[in-house]
Chains A and B, each alone.
Chain A
Amino acid sequence: MKTTRNEKAKLSLVLSRVLAYGFIVFLCFLCLFCFILLVLMASKSNSQLQGAFSLRWGGNFLTNLKNAWNDASINIPRGMVNSFIVAMTSAVITTYFSALTAYGVHVYNFKGKNFVFTFIMAIMVIPSQVSAVGFIQLAYKFGLTNKLWLLIVPGIAAPVVFFYMKQYLESVLPLDMVEAARMDGSNEFRIFNEIVLPIMKPAVAVQMIFSFVSSWNNFFMPALLLTKEQYKTVPIMIAQLRSADYSKFDMGKVFMFILLAILPVMIVYMFLSRFIIKGVTSGSVKG
């Protein structure tokens, strides 16, 4: 009697596992399917793409790459350089100043400390679009359209990154260490740069990646501010592809453009996925 019951339990466990694995594999397939198609389609010539559907490798990958890279109307190398400049400097500025602000709120007792913290938490999820009108109006008024720095500098105030840094400091920073450094006569700014920042390295790295990615993918504001060809970032160029006369396009090239747009982030992700996934949660809500 007992053995059959055990066997029954075992069978149900095996069955649940099979179902669970099947479900997970199906979802993974769903996530990968479009991107596998993308790589395949980017390997095909326009005439192959006009012809019957096939999942075979087209063999035109390098030709498409060359054509996309040297395209006359969509200057993708320029776009990638612009996007890279904006994303990289945004990542550095956002993380540095968020860490600095978090440190300021964390270690010092000052008047308004609670207000500052509450205020930043309250504005955390208000979308930037709701102040876009004033932002765009000011940008036009002061002739600041087509200035890449205007997309970078506002990153100094990043409430979500601040919140992450604050939580990180609470969990790792021993205040005696700061005290000891003070005894040695270091000034506060040096203490932050030379002692605290190195301790925060893991948090800084995670947030740099997230800021880089969100800036690389950012579409709404850049599209309103960057109107000259030489300053456009990648997402604007991708949207331009969509509005161009589609039927005349070399489709192999179009797929290659899309691939180029997402590739940098994908490469970073391939190497750092574990690290990135760990970073998803630790900032948002205390588990």
Chain B
Amino acid sequence: MKKAIKHRKSVSYTKWAYIFIAPFFISYTVFTLVPQFLTIYNSFFENYRNGLQQIGPNFVGLQNYVQLLTPDKTGTVDFLKYFGNAMAMWIVGAVPQFIIALLLAVLFTSARLNLKGQGIAKTIIYMPNLIMASAFSMLIFALFSNVGPINKLLVASGVIDQAFDFLSFKIPVRTIIAFMNFIMWFGNTTIVLMAGIMGIDQSLFESANMDGANAIHVFFDITLPLLMPILTYAMITSLIGGIQMFDVPQVITNGKGTPNMTSQTVIMMLNNYLSTSKNYGMAGALSVMLFIITGILSFLVFRTLSKQYKK
């Protein structure tokens, strides 16, 4: 009897489930799914503005993709170059980001060291993650510009004779952008990895200590292997973030990817197609490529997550 009532009830409640999840799916369909299909659809059309003249839309098949991947006169494929730029700047920031975050996470969670003041330290290192990236970039630009305080300081202290234009050389620009990414993200990674370490069965550490294992062995034999799923998750999401790199190079270089397009990223390229030339065809093809790449990476994240989730 009781079971029957329950059964009847659970049936009548089903409609509520659909009502509750409906807004999410309607919104997702209207603002993401339909635009996503439209983006793919656009990628097969020639559709752009040339001055005041509207060209297309004309169906051109895969021509936009061909154009996107065809080398120009100098033999470079812009899309690949910009993708490479973003990856280069990402890796230069991500390597120290992960090494330092791992080290900090181990230090913060070490029972032997039992460090004080962790609350304040975490508060400070996480702070740059919340700063508006465009404002932080403008700040760094103003500090490092020709007439900015960093140059004034370097000249006054005799390190250099005259102002050095940091922002017109490839290596300094890329280093600055990578460094900013590092500063903005290592705190976040530290906190994520700390939670991962604290989720490891503490008795493993205790027995390792009892066996007299030193800190380095404990790290490589226990912490790192057990932290792998979370570390992988953090690395892939960081990589996806790297592909999306936009705000910082856009503001630092005023959208120009200076010098000589060496700090131009794919999303900056997308932004140019969308804002100036309204080239929906090329922007579409570019987006589809990004969609495929981030889709594969998302699948890897999904796999790590669902493994974690089932546990």
Contacts and interface: CB of A to CB of B under 8 A. Distances in A.
Are chains A and B native binding partners rather than an unrelated pairing? Answer: yes
Interface string A243-264: 1001100010011011001100
Interface string B100-135: 100110010000110100011111111110111111
A256 B254 CA distance: 19
Contacts of A261: 132, 134-135
A274 B119 contact: yes
Contact of A130 (B26, B247, B280, B294): B294
Contact of A41 (B149, B192, B251): B149
Contact of B192 (A103, A108, A284): A284
Contacts of A162: 24
B31 A135 contact: yes
A110 to B, nearest CB: 4
B140 A34 contact: yes
Contacts of A216: 132
Residue in A23, A246, A287 with the greatest tally of chain B CB atoms within 10 Å: A287
B8 to A, nearest CB: 12
B277 to A, nearest CB: 13
Interface stretch (A14-22, A60-68, A199-207): A14-22
Contact of B39 (A21, A130, A242, A281): A130
Q: Which 3 A-B pairs have the closest CB atoms?
A: A104-B20, A134-B35, A134-B38
22 contacts: A27-B125, A107-B17, A121-B302, A121-B306, A122-B302, A124-B298, A130-B291, A131-B33, A135-B35, A153-B27, A157-B28, A224-B275, A242-B137, A255-B142, A261-B134, A261-B135, A262-B132, A262-B135, A265-B131, A266-B127, A277-B126, A287-B196
Given A124-B298, A258-B135, A286 B309 contact: yes
Contacts of A285: 192, 195-196, 229-230, 233, 305, 308
Interface residues of B, number: 113
B23 interface: yes
Given A110-B17, A286-B308, 17 more contacts: A20-B115, A23-B107, A28-B121, A104-B21, A124-B298, A125-B301, A126-B291, A129-B267, A133-B270, A134-B37, A157-B25, A157-B27, A238-B132, A239-B250, A242-B138, A273-B123, A281-B195
Contact of B21 (A101, A213, A280): A101
Given A20-B113, A188-B13, A219 B287 contact: no
B3 interface: no
Given A101-B24, A192-B20, A132 B287 contact: yes
Contacts of A35: 127, 131
A100 B20 contact: yes
Interface residues of A, number: 102
Contact of B280 (A137, A213, A241): A137
B71 to A, nearest CB: 24
B298 A126 contact: yes
B20 A129 contact: no
B298 A123 contact: yes
Contacts of B107: 20, 23-24
Contact of B149 (A24, A53, A155): A53
